[in-house]
């Protein structure tokens, strides 16, 4: 299981974790939604469940649920600013297509 985080994404995640020091890490996964099937979820983790995998990346704990693991394996998480907009950007080798708005993706 590999997930990579760019320095920009790491800095953004650390900013949120610094504001909520009781959070055990950042939760990364997917949920069924959108016009293509799955959407990414990045949020502070409330807790770590028994079937979660915790990945340590440069001192950051990334919590991934068991159902999301095969869908996000190999993903690079970036954070980009474009004008007034700022968002996490995902480079997922498992995604075979994305919707036009970039909010959801499909797999094999």
Count of the separate structural domains present in the chain? 1
Which residues constitute the domain of residue 101? Answer: 4-107
- Tens of pLDDT, residue by residue over 57-74, are 989 999 999 999 999 999
Whether 91 shows a pLDDT value over 60: the answer reads yes
Confidence of residue 99 (pLDDT cuts 50, 70, 90): low
What CATH number has the domain bearing residue 38?
Answer: 2.60.300.12
Long-range pairs for 55-60: beta carbons < 8 A, 24 or more residues apart: 55/1, 55/3, 57/3, 57/4, 57/5, 57/10, 58/5, 58/10, 60/5, 60/10, 60/13, 60/14, 60/17, 60/25, 60/26
């Amino acid at each position: 299981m590999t997930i990579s985080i760019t320095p920009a994404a790491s800095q953004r995640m650390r900013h949120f974790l610094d504001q909520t020091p009781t959070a055990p890490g950042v939760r990364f996964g997917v949920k069924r939604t959108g016009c293509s099937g799955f959407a990414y979820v990045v949020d502070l983790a409330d807790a770590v469940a028994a079937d979660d995998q915790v990945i340590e990346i440069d001192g950051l704990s990334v919590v991934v649920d068991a159902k999301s693991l095969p869908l996000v394996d190999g993903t690079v998480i970036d954070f980009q600013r474009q004008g007034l907009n700022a968002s996490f950007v995902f480079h997922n080798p498992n995604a075979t297509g994305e919707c036009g708005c970039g909010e959801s993706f499909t797999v094999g």
